[in-house]
C-alpha cells in the first residue's frame, strides 16, 4: 500500500497533474497509491465542489429563523414551539442514466440519511425529474425505471412522496436529471451535527455491511456520460435496501435520545473516506481508524475498496466511550451492525490501519479541502440571436392549441406517476400530489399549523436566459406556496449543468447562481444549502442549464389551505395580477409551433411580493376556495387545469390587456402568453368585495374573468363588440388530453 506515483497515474483517479503537485506541496511528500485514491474521490467535483464553491458564496445564507445554513448535511429552519425543519436537495443523475431503478432509489435513500444526520425524522419527499422525449424507447425506459425506483424505496421506507415535477426535453435524452428533496422534523434542542470532537471519543460504524457496490461513485458522478457508460459504469451504482433504511432511521433517532452521540454523518459519496475526513476536519481533530473492524459483506475486500465503497444504509457516529455499548445495543436491537472502528485523537491527522499495519496518515482538512477554481466564462453569442423573435407564426385554432398544451408532458397530469407513490403514510398530507400548487403537511406537534413544500425549475427558459430563468424558478416556487397560504422559510437548490471547464457552460452557471441570489434576497429567503451536479453531458451535448429550486413554507392553519380545483357552481373566477403575458420563450410557442426562442419575461419582485401577499391573505381569511398559479400555458391552461381538477365547467372572458412582442389582435397571446405574478383564484360571490379590498390595499390588479358552472370549458378574449367564443370544449375532451401520460407510467 506504499506504492508511489510511478505505479498509479493521478489521471487514473481523476486528478490533474497540477492537483497532484498541490497534494505533494500540502503533504510535503509523495502520496502513496492508496492516499492518491482517497484524494481522487475527495477532490472529485461531486465531493470537492472545485468549480462551484467560490461562485456559491453569492447566495444569501442568512435570515430570521435560520439555525443551520450551508456546510452541514442539511439546512435547518426554526418553525416555532421548539421545533425545526431540516431539508436538502440531492441529485443522482449519472447513476440513474446507467441504472434507472437503483440510481433513483439510492438517491432517495441518500437524501433521507442527510436529513437524518441532522437528528430529524424524515417526513416528506419531493422529486424533480427531467427526461428525453417519452416516445423515445431509451428515454421512456429511463423514465419508468426512475419513477419505479423512487416509489420502491420511498414506499418501503415509510416516507411519503408528496409532490414534484416532470419536464421533458430532447436535450435530456442522453443525461436525465433525478433531483430528490427530503424534509425532516426535529426538536430544536435535539439538533445534531457532524463535527467530531473530544479526543478519546470512539468512532462507531452503524448500519448495513460494506460491499463492493458504488465504488468510485463520486468520481463517476464527476464525469461525462458516453455510449459505454450504461455497460461499464454499472458497478459504480449503489444498491439500496429500503427496509434496512427504515431500521436505520428508527435506530439512529433512538440512539440520539441516549445522549451518548456526539456527532454523526451519512456515509454517502466517497463512503468512509468522506465521513471520517469531513467529520474530523469540521472539528479540527484527527481519527485513528482500523479498517479490519469495518463490517464487510464480501470477503477479500482491499483497503481502497473498504474506504471508497458507497454501500447504502450506513452512518458514522462519534460516541462518548462510556456510552458506546449503550448506543451499539440500540442498533443491534434493530438488527443492524454497530462496531467501534476507531477513536478521535487530538492531532489533526486521519490515520488508517489494517491489521495493525499503517496504510495512510493524512491531515483531514487537506483531504476534505479540494482546490477552488474560477473557470473562464464567456456568454454564448447564440443567445442574442435566440432573443430575436421577429415573426410570430400564424395563430392556430385555440381549441387545438389548448388540447396540445394539456397533453404536453410538462403540463399533463402526473396522476399515473404519483399514484405509484405512497403520499399518505405518516398521516400528515393535507394537500396531496396533483391537488394543489404546493404540498401541505399538517404539524400535529403545532396544530393547526402546517408545512408547505414546492419544487420548480425550467431548463428551457434557462437555456434562453439563465439569469432570468433562475429568478423565475424562485418566483414560481414562492407563488406555489402563496396559493396554499404559506409564508416562505427557506430554499434549497439543485444546480444541474454541463462541463464547468467549458466557458459557455460556466457562464450559464454563474448567471443562474446570480439570478437565484438576487431573487432570494428580494424575497428575503435564505438559501440553506443544496447540491451542484456538473458534467451532465452525453455525446449529444450538454443538458440545458437546469437550476432546481425547492422551497419550504409555514402555514398558519392547514384547514384553510385550498387546492387548485374549482369548488362549486356559481363561484367567481378572479385573476390576481396584471392580465398581461407574452409569447416569447413560452411553452405555447415551443410546444404548438416548435419555436424555442425569445427572451423570458423578468420578474418585478416588488410587484410579485404584493400579488403573493394578496393571495396569501385571501387564503388565510378563508376567502379563496381555490388558487392556482399561472405558469406554463398561461391563463387558459391554468383555468382548464382547475376545471378538470374540480370536474366543473367554466365560462370566462379574458381581457386583451397589453402583450409585449405581440399585436393586441393576437388572441393566443391573451390565452397562452406567460408572465410571472398572476394567480387564478375562485371565491364565492359574497367574498368578491373582500378580495377586491385586499387587492386595492396592496395596489394589485384584480380582474373578474367569469364563473364556475356547467360541464364545458368556455373561454373568450374580450375585444370590441360582442366577445367571440374561442374555446368551447367538454370536460371529458380536456381530461382525455390531460391524462396523456397514463399509458406511459401506468
Q: Which residues contact 518 (CB under 8 A, 6 or more apart)?
A: 471
Spatial distance between the Cα atoms of 481 and 464, rounded to a whole number of angstroms = 26
**Cell 439546512 found at:** 75
Cell, residue 155:
414506499
- Give SS3 for 22: helix
* Pairing mode of beta strands 357-362, 429-431: unpaired
Out of 92, 94, 593, 628, pick the active-site residue: 92
Among 552, 612, 700, 704, residue whose Cα is nearest residue 182: 552
Identify each DSSP E strand in 58-118 by its residue range.
66-68, 75-80, 83-91
Angle at which helix 731-738 crosses helix 398-407, to 10 degrees, equals 40
CB 573 within 8 A of CB 198: no
Identify each DSSP E strand in 56-176 by its residue range.
66-68, 75-80, 83-91, 121-131, 161-168
Question: Residue-wise over 682-709: b if at least 16 C-beta within 10 A, else e?
Answer: bbeeebbebbbebbeebebbbbbbbbbb
Cα dist from 599 to 303, 359, 515, 545, 661, whole Å: 53, 57, 15, 15, 10
CB atoms within 10 A of CB 446: 16
Look up 92 and say whether it is catalytic.
yes
User: What value does the CA radius of gyration of the chain take, rounded to a whole number of Å?
Assistant: 26
Residues in the chain: 746
Spatial distance between the Cα atoms of 36 and 30, rounded to a whole number of angstroms = 9
Handedness of CA 229, 230, 232, 234 (dihedral sign): positive
Q: Omega before 448 cis (within 30°)?
A: yes
Spatial distance between the Cα atoms of 492 and 75, rounded to a whole number of angstroms = 8
Secondary element (H or E) of residue 450: strand 450-456
Q: Count CA within 13 A, CB hemisphere, residue 719.
A: 15
Handedness of CA 359, 365, 266, 131 (dihedral sign): negative
CB 310 within 8 A of CB 213: yes
Cell, residue 202:
470512539
357-362 sheet: strands from edge to edge: 261-266, 314-319, 202-207, 337-345, 286-290, 350-354, 357-362
Phi and psi at 167, nearest 5°, equal -125, 150
- Give SS3 for 118: coil
CB 520 within 8 A of CB 608: no
Spatial distance between the Cα atoms of 388 and 377, rounded to a whole number of angstroms = 23
Spatial distance between the Cα atoms of 102 and 96, rounded to a whole number of angstroms = 7
**Cell 402555514 found at:** 555
Out of 46, 51, 94, 628, pick the active-site residue: 46
Look up 46 and say whether it is catalytic.
yes
Give me the numbers of helices (H) and strands (E) for the chain, helices first please. Answer: 27, 28
Cell, residue 660:
409585449
Spatial distance between the Cα atoms of 25 and 14, rounded to a whole number of angstroms = 18
- The shares of helix, strand and coil residues in the chain, as percent rounded to the nearest 5, are 40, 25, 35
Cell, residue 707:
364563473
Among 245, 247, 229, 221, residue whose Cα is nearest residue 311: 245
Catalytic residues: 46, 92
Amino acid at each position: 500500500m506504499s506504492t508511489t506515483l510511478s505505479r498509479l497515474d493521478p489521471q487514473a483517479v481523476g486528478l490533474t497533474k497540477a492537483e497532484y503537485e498541490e497534494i505533494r506541496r500540502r503533504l510535503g511528500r509523495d502520496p502513496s497509491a492508496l492516499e492518491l485514491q482517497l484524494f481522487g474521490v475527495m477532490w472529485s467535483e461531486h465531493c470537492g465542489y472545485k468549480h462551484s464553491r467560490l461562485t456559491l458564496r453569492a447566495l444569501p445564507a442568512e435570515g430570521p429563523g435560520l439555525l443551520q445554513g450551508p456546510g452541514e448535511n442539511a439546512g435547518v429552519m426554526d418553525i416555532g414551539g421548539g421545533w425545526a425543519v431540516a431539508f436538502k436537495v440531492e441529485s443522482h443523475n449519472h447513476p440513474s442514466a446507467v441504472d434507472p431503478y437503483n440510481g433513483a432509489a439510492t438517491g432517495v435513500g441518500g437524501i433521507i440519511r442527510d436529513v437524518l444526520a441532522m437528528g430529524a425524522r424524515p417526513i416528506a419527499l419531493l422529486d424533480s425529474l427531467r427526461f428525453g422525449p417519452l416516445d423515445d424507447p431509451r428515454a421512456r425506459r429511463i423514465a419508468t425505471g426512475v419513477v419505479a425506483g423512487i416509489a420502491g424505496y420511498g414506499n418501503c421506507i415509510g416516507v411519503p412522496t408528496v409532490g414534484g415535477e416532470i419536464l421533458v426535453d430532447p436535450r435530456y435524452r442522453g443525461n436525465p436529471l433525478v433531483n430528490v428533496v427530503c424534509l425532516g422534523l426535529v426538536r430544536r434542542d435535539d439538533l445534531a451535527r457532524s463535527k467530531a470532537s473530544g479526543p478519546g471519543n470512539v468512532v462507531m460504524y452503524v448500519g448495513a455491511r460494506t460491499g463492493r457496490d458504488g465504488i468510485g461513485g463520486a468520481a463517476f458522478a464527476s464525469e461525462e456520460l458516453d455510449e459505454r457508460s450504461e455497460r461499464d459504469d454499472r458497478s459504480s451504482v449503489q444498491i439500496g435496501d429500503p427496509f434496512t433504511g427504515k431500521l436505520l432511521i428508527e435506530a439512529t433517532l433512538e440512539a440520539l435520545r441516549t445522549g451518548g452521540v456526539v456527532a454523526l454523518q451519512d456515509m454517502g459519496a466517497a463512503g468512509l473516506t468522506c465521513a471520517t475526513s469531513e467529520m474530523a476536519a469540521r472539528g479540527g481533530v484527527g481519527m485513528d481508524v482500523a479498517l479490519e473492524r469495518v463490517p464487510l459483506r464480501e470477503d477479500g475486500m482491499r483497503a481502497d475498496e473498504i474506504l471508497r465503497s458507497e454501500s447504502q444504509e450506513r452512518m458514522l457516529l462519534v460516541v462518548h466511550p462510556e456510552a458506546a455499548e449503550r448506543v451499539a445495543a440500540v442498533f443491534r436491537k434493530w438488527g443492524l451492525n454497530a462496531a467501534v472502528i476507531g477513536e478521535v485523537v487530538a492531532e489533526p491527522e486521519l490515520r488508517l490501519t489494517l491489521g495493525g499495519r499503517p496504510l495512510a496518515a493524512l491531515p483531514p482538512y487537506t483531504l476534505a479541502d479540494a482546490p477552488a477554481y474560477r473557470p473562464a466564462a464567456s456568454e454564448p453569442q447564440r443567445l442574442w440571436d435566440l432573443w430575436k423573435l421577429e415573426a410570430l407564426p400564424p395563430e392556430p385554432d385555440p381549441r387545438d392549441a389548448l388540447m396540445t398544451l394539456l397533453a404536453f408532458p410538462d403540463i399533463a397530469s402526473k396522476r399515473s406517476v404519483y399514484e405509484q407513490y405512497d403520499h399518505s403514510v405518516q398521516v400528515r398530507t393535507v394537500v396531496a400530489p396533483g391537488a394543489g400548487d404546493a404540498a401541505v403537511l399538517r404539524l400535529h406537534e403545532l396544530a393547526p399549523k402546517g408545512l408547505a413544500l414546492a419544487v420548480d425549475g425550467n431548463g428551457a427558459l434557462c437555456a434562453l436566459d439563465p439569469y432570468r430563468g433562475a429568478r423565475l424558478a424562485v418566483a414560481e416556487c414562492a407563488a406555489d406556496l402563496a396559493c396554499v397560504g404559506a409564508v416562505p422559510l427557506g430554499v434549497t437548490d439543485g444546480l444541474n449543468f454541463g462541463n464547468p471547464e467549458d466557458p459557455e457552460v460556466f457562464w450559464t452557471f454563474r448567471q443562474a447562481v446570480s439570478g437565484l441570489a438576487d431573487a432570494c434576497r428580494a424575497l428575503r429567503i435564505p438559501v440553506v444549502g443544496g447540491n451542484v451536479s456538473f458534467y451532465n453531458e452525453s455525446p449529444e451535448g450538454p443538458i440545458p442549464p437546469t437550476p432546481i429550486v425547492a422551497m419550504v413554507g409555514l402555514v398558519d392553519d392547514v384547514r384553510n389551505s385550498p387546492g387548485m380545483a374549482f369548488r362549486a357552481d356559481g363561484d367567481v373566477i378572479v385573476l390576481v395580477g396584471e392580465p398581461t403575458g407574452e409569447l416569447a420563450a413560452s411553452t405555447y410557442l415551443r410546444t404548438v409551433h416548435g419555436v424555442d426562442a425569445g427572451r423570458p419575461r423578468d420578474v418585478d419582485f416588488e410587484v410579485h411580493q404584493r400579488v403573493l401577499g394578496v393571495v396569501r391573505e385571501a387564503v388565510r381569511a378563508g376567502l379563496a376556495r381555490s388558487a392556482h398559479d399561472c405558469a406554463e400555458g398561461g391563463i387558459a391552461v391554468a383555468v382548464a387545469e382547475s376545471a378538470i381538477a374540480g370536474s366543473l365547467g367554466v365560462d370566462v372572458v379574458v381581457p386583451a390587456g397589453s402583450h409585449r412582442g405581440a399585436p393586441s389582435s393576437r388572441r393566443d397571446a391573451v390565452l397562452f402568453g406567460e408572465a410571472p405574478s398572476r394567480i387564478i383564484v375562485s371565491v364565492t360571490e359574497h367574498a368578491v368585495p373582500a378580495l377586491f379590498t385586499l387587492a386595492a390595499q396592496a395596489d394589485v390588479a384584480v380582474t373578474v374573468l367569469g364563473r364556475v358552472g356547467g360541464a364545458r370549458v368556455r373561454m373568450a378574449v374580450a375585444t370590441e363588440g360582442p366577445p367571440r367564443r374561442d374555446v368551447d370544449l367538454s370536460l371529458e375532451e380536456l381530461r382525455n388530453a390531460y391524462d396523456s401520460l397514463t399509458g406511459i407510467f401506468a
